[in-house]
């Protein structure tokens, strides 16, 4: 059986880890897979440059924050014994994630309904919606089921 590669975006929030938990369940049910963990960081904004004129310091802090956002997902995958790589891109997640899936040779994208930006009415978030409509690979959108989350790990 060929091993599938899933792109799993995360912003480090517990909600975004629902997609990671879903992929772990697929693996536990016998699907041969590996994971490409993804995080897209926003570019440094002009007002940040005005407040802290050393752009290199800002870029380094932004990169460190992106790496930190991947830690919870990496810990879950490591504990589950799954193979993974990590990718960090710069830009808008809604447009970068579909492109990243192609560049990384991913067979599909597994994304949660929203991280910190989840809409309060329970609908799919802006990024997940854009990925669903623009990705050239299959997309699975994972929503939180009652009782799921950090306490259920």
Q: What pLDDT is stored for residue 9 in this prediction?
A: 96
Chain segment 35-63, per-residue pLDDT in tens: 999 999 877 655 555 566 666 776 777 78
pLDDT of residue 42: 79
Residues 48, 50, 53, 56: what is their CA dihedral angle, to the nearest 10 degrees? 30
Neighbours of 139 (CB within 10 A): 19
So what's the pLDDT on residue 51? Answer: 62
Please name each of the domains of the chain with its CATH number: 4-152 (3.40.50.620)
Residues of the chain with pLDDT under 70: 1, 44-55, 58, 114-123, 145-153
How high is the pLDDT of residue 64? 85
pLDDT at 35: 98
Q: pTM of the entire structure?
A: 0.83
Q: What is the pLDDT of residues 100-110, one digit of tens each?
A: 999 999 999 99
Q: Positive or negative CA dihedral for 64, 65, 71, 73?
A: negative
User: Which residue in this structure is represented by tokens 């623009």?
Assistant: 134
């Amino acid at each position: 059986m060929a091993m599938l590669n899933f792109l799993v975006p995360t912003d480090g929030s517990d909600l975004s880890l629902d997609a990671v938990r879903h992929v772990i369940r697929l693996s536990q049910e016998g699907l041969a897979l590996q994971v490409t963990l993804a995080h897209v960081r926003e570019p440094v904004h002009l007002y940040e440059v005005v407040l802290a004129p050393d752009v290199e310091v800002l870029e380094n802090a932004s990169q460190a924050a992106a790496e930190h956002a991947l830690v919870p997902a990496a810990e879950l995958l490591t504990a589950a014994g799954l193979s993974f790589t990590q990718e960090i891109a710069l830009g808008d997640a809604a447009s970068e994630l579909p492109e990243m899936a192609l560049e990384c040779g991913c067979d599909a994208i597994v994304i949660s309904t929203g991280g910190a930006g989840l809409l309060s009415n329970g609908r799919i978030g802006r990024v997940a919606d854009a990925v669903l409509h623009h990705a050239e690979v299959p997309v699975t959108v994972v929503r939180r089921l009652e009782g799921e989350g950090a306490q259920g790990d």
